[in-house]
Amino acid sequence: MKKLRRSTPGKRKQERKSAEEELERKVALFAQHPTDCCVCKSVFERTKETVITWQVTINENRVRLTCPTCWNTIKKAVESRDED
């Protein structure tokens, strides 16, 4: 009988390990987020509402915090650019 699938446990283990390391790196960056909006510089006060509404993005080694007003402006600009 032929094997239907090749088993590469070493490769899967390495991929899982590298994914876990990447997640740990991003969590560490997330813990060091800025305290103001990257666009309008409004101050981020840690409350239940702000934690839910503000957006955190991680690109490479940069963490950006964006207030809801600026986030909506950015979303509209990206959507209009995609339509063109």
The pTM of this model reads 0.57
| pLDDT tens series, the chain, 84 aa | 556 666 677 888 888 999 999 888 878 877 777 788 888 988 888 888 888 898 888 787 788 889 999 999 988 988 888 776
Q: Are 26 and 58 in contact (CB under 8 A)?
A: yes
The single-letter code of the amino acid at 21 is E
Contacts of residue 38, defined as CB under 8 A and 6 or more positions apart, other chains included, come to 64, 65, 66, 70
3-state SS class at 5:
coil
Tokens describing residue 13: 């283990």
Q: Are 55 and 71 in contact (CB under 8 A)?
A: yes
Q: How far apart are CA 32 and CA 42, in angstroms?
A: 17
